[in-house]
Structure 1
Amino acid sequence: MHMLLLLLLVPCLTFISADDCTDCVNSGRLWCLQTSQCGGTTLACNTSITVPLNCPSLPRFAYNDEFIRTEIMVLTTAAQNENPQLCFE
């Protein structure tokens, strides 16, 4: 009876709690992208993450259309122009 209970609990114990993907991967385990769960080193998952750089994250900065149009477009245009000052004026 105890062995049956142990066999039922083993699959539940393969997922170890972790706050996020980075903590999970830094501790030597795999992060499952589909389930957003941390598992052992042999996690059965279609897409597992093993490198912290590959962990999904929210963008740190929002897209700003005015900044792109007034700053970035001017800079990229000036970089390709023979007289860049014309773009800044």
Structure 2
Amino acid sequence: MYRNHTYGGGYFNFVSYIANLDGRKYADLGYFSANDSVSSVYNNGTKKAVRFYQTKNYTGPYVDLPLKTEDTNLNDASGQIKKVFNDRISSAKFI
């Protein structure tokens, strides 16, 4: 998960799940919370799709990103994810 469009502005990685992004910081932007601030995503997993949820604890509206795919701009619906989901991700897990 990246703070800005086209993988800029900081990144946040997870291995299997993250129930609540609140209080979690971007790896190279230690001062900026990852909750409700993701603008681009890439699924670099090895076996599964990833599901991004709008609220913590895997609840609320969600979008799926298949294995080895990306969406460089969550602010429109023209990429892999067909919903506007910019700055709306609060939890995620591989499914």
Q: Which structure is higher in helix share?
A: 1
Larger RCO, structure (CA 8 Å, separation 6 or more): 2
Fold in common (TM above 0.5):
no
**With structure 1 as the length reference, what TM-score do the two structures score?**
0.20
**With structure 2 as the length reference, what TM-score do the two structures score?**
0.20
Q: Which has the larger radius of gyration?
A: 1
Q: Which structure is higher in strand share?
A: 2
